[in-house]
Amino acid sequence: MTVWLNGALYAPESARIDPSDRGFTLGDGVFETIRLSGGKPMHLARHLRRLRDGAHMLDIPVVYDNAAIAAAILAVISARGLMEGAARLTLTRGPAPRGVTPPVSPTPTLLVVAGTSPLAAASVRAIISGSTRRNQASPLSRIKSLNYLDNVLARQEATRQAADEALLLNTQGALAEASAANLFLLRHGMLVTPSLADGALPGIMRALLIERCGAVERSICPDDLFAADGVFLSSSLGLRIVSEVDGRRVRRNDDRILECVDAAAIE
């Protein structure tokens, strides 16, 4: 295994994050998880655009251009001989003295790791998290930041209930997303997904499903899940069909869903 950190390749046990890195001390950064297929990162331009959008919101400079980041990913996956799997980019504001105020001239940290990715389950049992809510009133809901603990809490809740995934409500009671995926319904032949205003992360696969399959953004409440003709979760690593929510079966229409997603996933 090899990782790329701030311009150089390392064995993972040699790569060192400084204890004062604001990614570690405050979750001050953003990340991307990118599917690898045929030895190449999928939809890389979109991932890098989102990474830069998030960095811009947080005012973290990105000191590498897209070609350099692409080369870093390829260096890591070729060192590992990896054809299929997932790469992760992590960008933080870097080491800094104690305190909330960011340093005026940060030295950001950029880390690239990659590995195999377990095959996604064909179908998942989901719960609706009762322990936490997604904050649609924070701009962080619109970037892929390192502040992932609400999602971790929701996933832990799912695990405790022997479910695979948790759906998060926003603070107003509308569904926002799953703990590591966007939420879609199939209704009267149309794909529906929560809007960014409802707290959905602007997922890459979500955007492709909107652009290429005509998915529409609309508020979704828990009852809508059971009225739908199908429910699925999308992420850059693939799609998972939801078989039940809170122990209640939801209808399935796998063929139609798979057809949409095949259309969306083409590079």
Q: Which of 33, 66, 123, 243 binds a second copy (CB under 8 A)?
A: 33
Give whichever of 156 and 253 is closer to a second copy, judged by the CB atom: 156
Give whichever of 46 and 142 is closer to a second copy, judged by the CB atom: 142
Q: Tell me: does residue 88 bind a second copy (CB under 8 A).
A: yes
Q: Which of 7, 20, 65, 251 binds a second copy (CB under 8 A)?
A: 20
Q: Mark 46-75 with x for binding to a second copy (rule: CB under 8 A) and - for no binding.
A: -----------xxx----------------
Binding span for a second copy by CB under 8 A among 93-101, 185-193, 224-232, 242-250: 93-101
Binding span for a second copy by CB under 8 A among 107-115, 119-127, 219-227, 254-262: 107-115
Query: What single-letter DSSP state applies at residue 195?
Result: -
What are the φ/ψ torsions at residue 96 (nearest 5 degrees)?
-165, 160
Query: What single-letter DSSP state applies at residue 160?
Result: H
The Cα 123–Cα 108 span in angstroms is 39
* C-alpha pair distances (Å), 176 with each of 146, 147, 199: 18, 16, 5
Check: CB of residue 80 under 8 Å from CB of residue 19.
no
Q: Tell me: does residue 23 bind a second copy (CB under 8 A).
A: yes
Q: Mark 180-199 with x for binding to a second copy (rule: CB under 8 A) and - for no binding.
A: x-------------------
CA-nearest of 143, 168, 174, 171 to 155 is 168
The Cα 35–Cα 242 span in angstroms is 21
Helix (H) or strand (E) holding 75: helix 66-80
CB of 105 to a second copy, least distance (A): 14
Q: Tell me: does residue 139 bind a second copy (CB under 8 A).
A: yes
Structure-token pair, residue 176: 């926002």
The Cα 62–Cα 19 span in angstroms is 21
Q: Tell me: does residue 132 bind a second copy (CB under 8 A).
A: yes
Q: Mark 140-179 with x for binding to a second copy (rule: CB under 8 A) and - for no binding.
A: x----xxxxxxxxx-xx--x-----------x-------x
